[in-house]
Amino acid sequence: MRHALAIACTLALLHGLTAQAATDSCIANPDIEQEELDALAARARQGDLCSSLAVARYADSGERYMTARFYYLLAASQGDTSSDQRLLELYRQSENLVQQALYEKWLADAAERGLVEVQAELGRYLLAWKSSSQDRIGAMFWLETAAKRGHLEAQYLLSEQYRSDLVEESDLDAVGGDDLALHYARDDAKAAHWLCRAAAGGLPQAQYALAEAYSFGNIVPLDQDQNRLWLEKAAASGHPDAIAQLDDSADPWYVRAENWGTRQLIRAEASCPDSQH
């Protein structure tokens, strides 16, 4: 199954590159008369890519977002990745998911077209809205796909799904025996690998989570020096809990002095344990 999905993604990406080349030849026209707009809409519904883009962008500029989504979906279905990107923005701005089945289909199609942000979004969506073990495996597949391409939040979310201390016993074991289920079974070494990748990439919540893991010895060896170093990185990245933990301004002077002295004894740099995953 994984090989089939990978081949499908590659073919979809190649198709998307061809379609994008056609999109680049479309001429923008912000001043469209109503009669011309009706003609464009009719051609769009017949499969004309440039017409779909023209109507979508015209509606978008007028803040008629439901109409814009409809025509962006038409353009995206023909491989226009700029429409996929704008659709992701529009759906994120929406207060609720209108036509959820249509949204799910677009997410799946756009993920297969290779847009890394959508691949990560599909993983998040499946985790948030679906509850079966198969859906969780599907979420991990798309998170892993995006994580391998350097998407930091996907790396962090994937790490959480691998952690044995965060995943319920029934979440992944219910479909045991399947190759995919075995690949995505709970694995603290994989959890540490992806958490470290996200933390090293500068994601504040990953840096803070790694500091916590070092503090308690979860998924990484217990190491209070590394806990302090990653807390400092998370605080420097703006993580509020890390900032609060390091703030000793309200402590007596001798406590602050002890904290300063302890920090001076740390000669290491923030790092991750070696991982083969």
Instruction: Give per-residue pLDDT as tens, 105-160.
Output: 899 999 998 999 999 999 999 998 888 888 999 999 999 999 999 999 999 999 99
Q: Are 92 and 61 within one domain?
A: yes
Burial class (CB in 10 A: 0-12, 13-18, 19+), 200: middle
Which domain-ending residue is among 60, 80, 114? Answer: 114
Q: Are 101 and 138 within one domain?
A: no
176 vs 243, higher pLDDT: 243
Q: Are 190 and 100 within one domain?
A: no
Evaluate whether residue 189 is within a structural domain.
yes
Burial class (CB in 10 A: 0-12, 13-18, 19+), 113: buried
Q: Which residue's entry shows tokens 């350097």?
A: 150
Q: What is the pLDDT of residue 140?
A: 96
Share of the chain above pLDDT 70, in %: 82
Which domain-ending residue is among 114, 136, 155? Answer: 114
Q: Are 59 and 196 within one domain?
A: no
165 vs 45, higher pLDDT: 45
- Other Cβ atoms within 10 Å of 22 Cβ, number: 13
Q: What is the pLDDT of residue 11?
A: 40
pLDDT in tens, 1-30: 445 444 444 444 444 444 454 455 576 666
Q: Are 96 and 32 within one domain?
A: yes
59 vs 164, higher pLDDT: 59
Q: Are 47 and 26 within one domain?
A: yes
User: Based on the structure, what is the number of domains in the chain?
Assistant: 2
Evaluate whether residue 119 is within a structural domain.
no
Residue 229's domain is classified under what CATH number?
1.25.40.10
Q: Are 140 and 275 within one domain?
A: yes
Q: Are 37 and 69 within one domain?
A: yes
Give the length of the chain.
Answer: 277
Domain that holds residue 223: 124-277
Q: What is the pLDDT of residue 8?
A: 42
Q: Are 91 and 193 within one domain?
A: no
Which domain-ending residue is among 58, 93, 114? Answer: 114
Q: What is the pLDDT of residue 36?
A: 86
Q: What is the pLDDT of residue 222?
A: 96
Q: Are 97 and 149 within one domain?
A: no
How does residue 206 score in pLDDT terms, banded at 50, 70 and 90?
Answer: very high
Average model confidence (pLDDT) for the chain? 84
Evaluate whether residue 14 is within a structural domain.
yes
Q: Are 273 and 152 within one domain?
A: yes
Evaluate whether residue 48 is within a structural domain.
yes
What is the distance of C-alpha 135 from the center of its chain?
16
pLDDT in tens, 213-235: 999 999 999 999 999 999 999 99
Q: Are 99 and 130 within one domain?
A: no
- What's the rounded Cα separation, in Å, for the pair 155 and 150? 8
Evaluate whether residue 213 is within a structural domain.
yes
